[in-house]
Amino acid sequence: MIGFMVRLPLTFEELERGERLGALLRRARAERTMVDIAFDAGISPETLRKIESGRVATPAFSTIAAIAGVLGLSLDELWNSVLAQEPDASGARSSRMARERLAS
Residue with more model confidence, 35 or 7: 35
pLDDT for 44: 97
Q: At CA 12, angle to CA 9 and CA 14, rounded to 5?
A: 75
What would the pLDDT profile of 13-67 be if each residue is shown by its tens digit? 899 999 999 999 999 999 999 999 999 999 999 999 999 999 998 999 999 999 9
What would the pLDDT profile of 67-92 be if each residue is shown by its tens digit? 999 999 999 999 898 888 776 544 44
Query: Which is nearest to 82 in space by CA: 9, 22, 4?
Result: 22
Residue with more model confidence, 104 or 64: 64
Sign of the C-alpha dihedral, residues 7, 9, 14, 18? positive
What length is written for the chain? 104
What domains can you pick out in the chain, each with its CATH number? 12-103 (1.10.260.40)
